[in-house]
A and B are shown apart, each in its own frame.
Chain A
């Protein structure tokens, strides 16, 4: 055992000195930065899609524009972009912060007052009521005269960020614009759209991206529905009542059986294991690859025989596996520390409160514990298989062919990540938990469920037994393979090695 640890320690030191090790450690901050920064870049560089409308009715488009203007104004109040206060006119800037501070219902009341001739509620402050009454028409004018460009700067939610109406109605010209990609699509609203919905068209060269079609279609549908209701003499309030959709409030069962409201932190918690699985997979891949490379390097460097004159083949194999496990644990510990620093330390230091309580998700001892345990078990399982096969090869190219089947199995968890994350206790997830090569990944994937204690116990026992069997088989191959030269043996020969009785017990010196 002592000698095994000597081998392990040397292996560890050697790996820590490699570029691969530092690349492995630094990958985490790089991924974190990418995850944090890339969506912002994508958001900032998105180009709004241009569209045009030929309105044969002559009324629908105006109504849609009006509705859109109101919706956008609502976004102005709810999602105002920080730092753009300078763009507000002076009269509005004075009391705008007060409006921003109101709850959604009061804001809706103000929108209703400004655009639908509604009445202001009594619960608004006197000052605010006065300001609004005094500046009502100025606000409406200011808003109506803003360009799309100006509007889009005021809030990220305003529609001009995504879609912009181009004032062209000439068919020939529209076709040309679509050809030259100056226009994403144009709509034709048929004359009898309210009567029977006929004559509507959506023309575009890109029919896979349906965002614009769905968005504009919904706006027109709403107008058409309102028209039909009013033509049928249905009272406006009744129409609203009929139109009102039922929305279910997301609730989850707490530990004590009481229901709790679902918030974004719960959703983050639900999906956190997927992130853990991803890193679990990467770390198992990196470390088993390292093990194979080192084994073959030692063999091709002709060091094996010298080593075997001092230690048994089993000690050598065990030492290598332990040494690289140590390397792997160092990498994932560094990752966890960096991730915790990034999600907890950084916001704390900067005094920012994250919209989602990631710290509790990240630092969840259940997740962290599962991560470390399944890293070790998963690594050991694949390490045994790959070190056995690797010992038969004289160079990496030979190894690539021989370990291909194992690597194909290693790929499976990546494809399972999302389906299992969506349904962590579904039958697919449950069944695959009992397949030892997949157990570490699938069980990590399900950690938010979490699986029942029985499942943890049974799958872990199954996995540990498989690891023991894998080691036993690997040892049989390794002690012969590591001294083998020439072409690596085929499947039949490997099978013969596995069946061959062990000539003599090997005791570690």
Chain B
């Protein structure tokens, strides 16, 4: 099967997740040519001919809380024509994630499905046979997995990360911006590394007004959601705990009119970052560009994406770059990076393959 055939099968099965045009762009951008895996091609401005070899076996260790990262990772492996083994989330994880991953595999056309195998338990022998290991999880998980790999293997670790929203022009924060922020907060129930855990605004921002607009936008978005995220006991308990802690601390809290557990906005007067309990809980904090550095020092190097509402100035951008941020995007787009996105700053396809050069 050629790359184009696999590309067509993948984009036909999942056109929203893998739009055809974006897949073509991804191949061109990262491999130099759409057909780079299938034939020799001359690199522009060079006398060298190249071909790209896909890994024989890719071992994916899936995150327990979100299916989309596994789906994307598998999609990359399939596009390359590799054999893919997925270590599914275990029983201690959210079982709906495992179900979603399995549903995704079932929805693949047969020729692609043949390239996928799943496992409930980690198979160390198979793990060591894989040319590439892609893993999602905590630093501890990464360290343990890395110890089980051999030096010749490519180990691509997507450790835990978080994302933020930055209100670059708070005076222009209107209902459109609030709607965009609400999309970022509610998509995937805040469980992904691209989900914002806090909204930062510069000093002087009218927090009361911003919080009110955001609350209204969140409620509207929540009502429109066709599939609302579940709120089992453990999740509900965390949400109510976060609300009560905020009340106890005297923070301003915006709740839905019926106090449902879909979303919560909390104004934390301290700028220092603290993780959100997620599941729709978003903190509003204020910090100047200089203050941001201190406020986010505890998570420097762990910030994936900064969604920006308004136009960011150079000072703020530099602060975020110094903190190791690898992606900026418009508010409302945080959860929907293009396929050509450099995940954790790395090219998603180029890093998996091997280049073969023929010099003339």
Q: Decide whether A and B assemble into one complex.
A: no
